[in-house]
């Protein structure tokens, strides 16, 4: 149901012109102390592979295409490079490729311009500031620059003793609090929150066994936003496709609206949390480096978690 009272918003919290939202919570002082989370030094790559098949995609986005631009089959081309420099090629050449894929395919970070509500985006910028040629004049993905800081993972699937949650399971504020307490995980203002549903495990299981995967996905519901507010979280990630549960809770993209639009909280989706879960790692130093696509609505990422 749409909100009847004025929704909580971070508009203006970091200035009228701000386009980085809750990432402002991770300042240099916090980042310097966040290194204390390091224990083993082990690295976990949270990015899924980029390939034509065997990876999750929403149908309208289509699979990634890696096309070859130049290779060893283009001998004459490489010869011409040598000729232009008046030197022999001496057997040298190269392989190069080109990537064509949706910026919201695979593991990716949503920019604050990704979703709009009532004609506005985060910080009150009008939806009309997004144009088809230039993309986002406001809240573009390049404004993220880079993210590095302490992240905590709440492993809901492991807590409930299942490899993955039932697709219709809704992760509420109470569930997150229960998992946090059971794990003994402390959360500080400006931390990154990762929520594990086990969806990627179910995806690879259905691929291996040829079983049908439900279109529904477990994820956080609107009440979980209270948890995010209580701990003043800087960014939210999950191993499912949209962070929020699908079908969405009550209204279209309701959690996206509350987090991206109202609070300026970027979302990390399809984060591969299997490695951290297997090692029982619930805290890490997380680095996310989106491509600086000016005007972009999101970027594929390979987040690196260091435990």
Q: How far is CA 4 from CA 1, 7, 130, in A?
A: 9, 8, 28
Q: Using the minimum distance from each CB to ligand UVW, give the nearer residue, 63 or 241.
A: 241
User: 189-218: which residues touch ligand UVW (CB under 6 A)?
Assistant: none
Q: Using the minimum distance from each CB to ligand UVW, give the nearer residue, 112 or 267.
A: 267
**What gap in Å lies between CA 177 and CA 273, rounded to an integer?**
19
Q: How far is the CB of 185 from ligand UVW (least distance, A)?
A: 25
Q: Using the minimum distance from each CB to ligand UVW, give the nearer residue, 18 or 110.
A: 110
* Token couple for 223: 């009440």
Q: Is 19 among the residues that bind ligand UVW (CB under 6 A)?
A: no
Q: Using the minimum distance from each CB to ligand UVW, give the nearer residue, 173 or 269.
A: 269
Cβ-proximal residue to ligand UVW, closest one: 104
Q: Using the minimum distance from each CB to ligand UVW, give the nearer residue, 267 or 286.
A: 267
Q: Using the minimum distance from each CB to ligand UVW, give the nearer residue, 187 or 194.
A: 194
User: 106-135: which residues touch ligand UVW (CB under 6 A)?
Assistant: 110
Applying CB under 6 A, among 10, 22, 44, 104 the residue interacting with ligand UVW is 104
Applying CB under 6 A, among 18, 201, 239, 269 the residue interacting with ligand UVW is 269
Partners of residue 216 on adjacent β-strands: none
- Secondary structure string (H, E, C) spanning 166-216: CCCCEECHHHHHHHHHHHCCCCCCCCEEEEECCHHHHHHHHHHHCCCCCCC
Q: How far is the CB of 110 from ligand UVW (least distance, A)?
A: 5
Q: Give the x-and-dash track for 234-253 against ligand UVW (CB under 6 A).
A: -------xx-----------
Q: How far is the CB of 302 from ligand UVW (least distance, A)?
A: 16
Q: Using the minimum distance from each CB to ligand UVW, give the nearer residue, 60 or 133.
A: 60
| Rg, Å, the chain Cα set | 21
Q: Is 221 among the residues that bind ligand UVW (CB under 6 A)?
A: no
Q: Give the x-and-dash track for 47-76 against ligand UVW (CB under 6 A).
A: ------------------------------
Of 187, 128, 139, residue with least CA distance to 14: 139
Q: How far is the CB of 115 from ligand UVW (least distance, A)?
A: 7
Q: How far is the CB of 298 from ligand UVW (least distance, A)?
A: 6
Q: Using the minimum distance from each CB to ligand UVW, give the nearer residue, 108 or 180.
A: 108
Q: Which residues bind ligand UVW (CB under 6 A)?
A: 104, 110, 241-242, 267, 269, 298
């Amino acid at each position: 149901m749409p909100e009847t009272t004025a929704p909580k918003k971070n508009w203006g919290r970091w200035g009228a012109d701000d386009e980085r939202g809750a990432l402002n919570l991770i300042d240099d002082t916090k980042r310097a102390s966040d290194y204390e989370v390091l224990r083993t030094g082990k690295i976990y790559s949270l990015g899924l592979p980029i390939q034509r098949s065997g990876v999750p995609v929403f149908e309208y986005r289509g699979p990634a295409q890696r096309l070859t631009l130049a290779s060893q089959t283009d001998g004459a081309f490489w010869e011409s490079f040598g000729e232009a420099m008046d030197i022999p090629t001496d057997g040298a050449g190269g392989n190069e490729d080109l990537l064509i894929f949706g910026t919201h395919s695979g593991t990716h970070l949503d920019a604050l311009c990704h979703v709009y509500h009532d004609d506005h985006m985060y910080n009150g910028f009008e939806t009309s500031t997004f144009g088809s040629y230039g993309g986002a004049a406001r809240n573009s993905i390049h404004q993220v620059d880079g993210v590095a800081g302490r992240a905590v993972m709440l492993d809901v699937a492991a807590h409930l003793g299942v490899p993955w949650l039932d697709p219709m399971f809704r992760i509420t504020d109470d569930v997150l609090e229960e998992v946090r307490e059971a794990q003994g995980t402390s959360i500080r203002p400006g931390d990154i929150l990762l929520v594990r549903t086990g969806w990627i495990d179910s995806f690879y299981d259905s691929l291996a066994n040829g079983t049908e995967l439900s279109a529904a996905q477990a994820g956080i519901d609107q009440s979980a936003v209270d948890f995010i507010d209580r701990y003043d979280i800087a960014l939210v990630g999950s191993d499912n496709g949209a962070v929020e549960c699908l079908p969405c809770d009550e209204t279209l993209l309701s959690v996206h609206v509350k987090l991206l639009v109202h609070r300026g909280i970027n979302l990390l989706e399809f984060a591969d949390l299997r490695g951290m879960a297997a090692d029982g790692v619930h805290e890490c130093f997380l680095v996310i480096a989106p491509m600086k696509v000016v005007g972009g609505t999101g970027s594929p990422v390979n987040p690196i978690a260091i435990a």
